[in-house]
Structure 1
Amino acid sequence: MRQDGVDLDTSLGYLLKQASSALRAAMEAVLRPLGMTVTHYSCLELLAQRPGLSNSELARGAFVTRQSMNVLLQALERDGYVTRPTQAPVGKVLPTQLTPLGRRSLEKATVAVRSVEVRMLSGMTQEERSGAFTILQSMIHSLGDDGTGA
Structure 2
Amino acid sequence: MSQDGNGVDLEKSLGYLLKEASSALRAAMEDVLRPLGMNVTRYSCLELLAQRPGLSNSDLARGVFVTRQSMNVLLQTLEREGLVTRPAEAPVGKALPTRLTPLGERSLEQASAAVRSVEIRMLSGMTEDEQSVAFRLLRSMVLSLRS
Distance 1:70 1:9 in 2: 40
| Counterpart pick for 2:45 among 37, 43, 49 | 43
Gaps spanning 5+ residues in structure 1: where? 146-150
Gaps spanning 5+ residues in structure 2: where? none
Partner of 1:93: 95
Distance 1:82 1:117 in 2: 26
CA displacement, residues 16-39 of structure 1 (integer Å, 9 cap, x when unaligned)? 000000000000000000000100
Structure 1 stretches of at least 4 aligned residues deviating more than 3 Å after TM superposition? 1-5
Q: Number of residue pairs matched?
A: 145
Partner of 1:117: 119
Partner of 2:73: 71
The amino acid across from 2:84 in the alignment is V
Distance 1:56 1:32 in 2: 26
Cα RMSD between the aligned structures?
A: 1.1
The amino acid across from 1:66 in the alignment is R
CA displacement, residues 79-136 of structure 1 (integer Å, 9 cap, x when unaligned)? 0000000100000000000000000000000110000000000000111111110111
Distance 1:46 1:4 in 2: 39
Distance 2:131 2:63 in 1: 24
| Seq. identity, % | 77
Partner of 2:36: 34
Shift of 1:9: 1.1
| TM-score for both structures, normalised by structure 1 | 0.94
Matched, 1:57 2:59: yes
Shift of 1:44: 0.4
| Counterpart pick for 1:104 among 93, 103, 106 | 106
